[in-house]
């Protein structure tokens, strides 16, 4: 009887360990995500945080491969955007999509290191680095980490060049705002550059280029961000309260 009882206890322990080993906490579960180019094969990838040309100047934690991941719903909607802009002579170029919390934490550590200004001339020449965190250029949480936000631009198939938007991706300043020099609600250019600390400006063509991207994204279920012309989030994002932690690398669902 004692041997039988010991065997029963051992079986229960083994079953418990096996169950625990297969459990995946919600933040680590990538099962509802897809590799973006599997759904949008026409998209061009330039994953800035996998390389060194970004505002930090080094590869960002959590970016293990130069790929883009999104929730299935966001990827399907982006496919509709891609089909839309292809008819207009463009392809989508992706800078960033899902961003693991580890990457956001890297941004926060960088922002707290005031002495590290390696990439200031390229991304925030008009600002003292000390204001980036207080002015919310860098935050503790990011919509990207919920998996349905994408940073992107247009690629002109006729010229075989990236479309000129008048300000680079991840430029910290009012020049990146969708309402800079125009009204994004009406699509009208007005040339008003008074918000620019250095009187920088964009042309009417550059403003209209931003509007082509914006209007295509809005037509297919995305909402814009009021400080970044390149940033859009799926309106009905499936995980509005979950900040995922798994790394950026090719999925094999």
Domain containing residue 176: CATH number: 3.30.1380.10
Instruction: Give the residue numbers spanning the domain of 147.
Output: 29-234
Residue 204 lies in a domain: yes
Decide which of 17 and 182 is more confident: 182
Active site residue 228: yes
> DSSP alpha helices (H): ranges in the chain?
2-22, 36-39, 72-87, 101-112, 120-123, 204-219
Q: Establish if 222 belongs to a structural domain.
A: yes
Asked if the structure places residue 230 within a domain, the reply is yes
The single residue of 23, 28, 46, 228 carrying the catalytic annotation is 228
Please compute the mean of the pLDDT values over residues 116-127 and round it to a whole number: 98
Q: Is residue 240 part of a domain?
A: no
Report which secondary-structure segment, H or E, holds 189.
Answer: strand 188-189
pLDDT for the residue 21: 43
pLDDT of 1 > 90? The answer is: no
Distance of CA 133 to the CA centre of its chain: 18
- Classified as helix, coil or strand, 174 is helix
pLDDT of 192 over the 80 cut: yes
User: What is the per-residue pLDDT for 23?
Assistant: 77
Residue 253's pLDDT band, with cuts at 50, 70 and 90, is low
- What's the rounded Cα separation, in Å, for the pair 39 and 147? 15
In a domain, 144, yes or no: yes
Percentage with pLDDT > 90 across the chain: 90
Mutual orientation of helices 204-219 and 72-87 as an angle, nearest 10°?
A: 130
- In this structure, is residue 17 part of a structural domain? no
Residue 11 has pLDDT above 90, yes or no: no
Going by pLDDT thresholds of 50, 70 and 90, the confidence category of residue 24 is confident
Number of domains in the chain: 1
Does the pLDDT of residue 22 top 80, yes or no? no
Q: Which position has the token pair 């096996």?
A: 18
Query: Domain for residue 242, yes or no?
Result: no
Q: What is the pLDDT of residues 60-112, one digit of tens each?
A: 999 999 999 999 999 999 999 999 999 999 999 999 999 999 999 999 999 99
Rg of the chain taking only CA atoms, in angstroms: 22
């Amino acid at each position: 009887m004692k041997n039988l009882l010991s065997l029963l206890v051992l079986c229960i322990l083994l079953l418990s360990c096996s169950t625990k080993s297969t459990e995946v906490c919600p933040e680590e579960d990538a099962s509802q995500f897809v590799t973006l180019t599997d759904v949008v094969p026409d998209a061009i990838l330039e994953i800035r945080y996998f390389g060194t040309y970004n505002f930090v100047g080094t590869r960002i934690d959590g970016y293990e491969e130069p790929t883009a991941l999104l929730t299935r719903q966001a990827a399907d909607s982006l496919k509709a955007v891609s089909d839309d802009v292809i008819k207009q002579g463009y392809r989508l170029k992706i800078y960033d999509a899902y961003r693991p919390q580890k990457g956001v934490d890297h941004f926060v550590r960088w922002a707290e290191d005031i002495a590290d200004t390696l990439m200031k001339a390229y991304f925030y020449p008009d600002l003292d680095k000390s204001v980036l965190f207080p002015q919310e250029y860098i935050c503790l949480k990011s919509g990207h980490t919920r998996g349905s936000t994408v940073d992107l631009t247009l690629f002109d198939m006729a010229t075989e060049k990236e479309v000129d938007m008048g300000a680079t991706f991840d430029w910290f300043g009012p020049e990146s705002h969708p309402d800079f020099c125009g009204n994004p609600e009406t699509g009208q250019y007005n040339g008003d550059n008074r918000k620019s600390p250095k009187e920088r400006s964009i042309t009417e063509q550059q403003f209209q280029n931003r509007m082509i991207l914006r209007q295509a994204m809005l037509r297919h279920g995305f909402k814009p961000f009021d400080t970044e012309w390149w940033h859009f989030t799926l309106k009905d994002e499936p995980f509005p309260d979950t900040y995922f932690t798994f790394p950026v690398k090719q999925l094999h669902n």
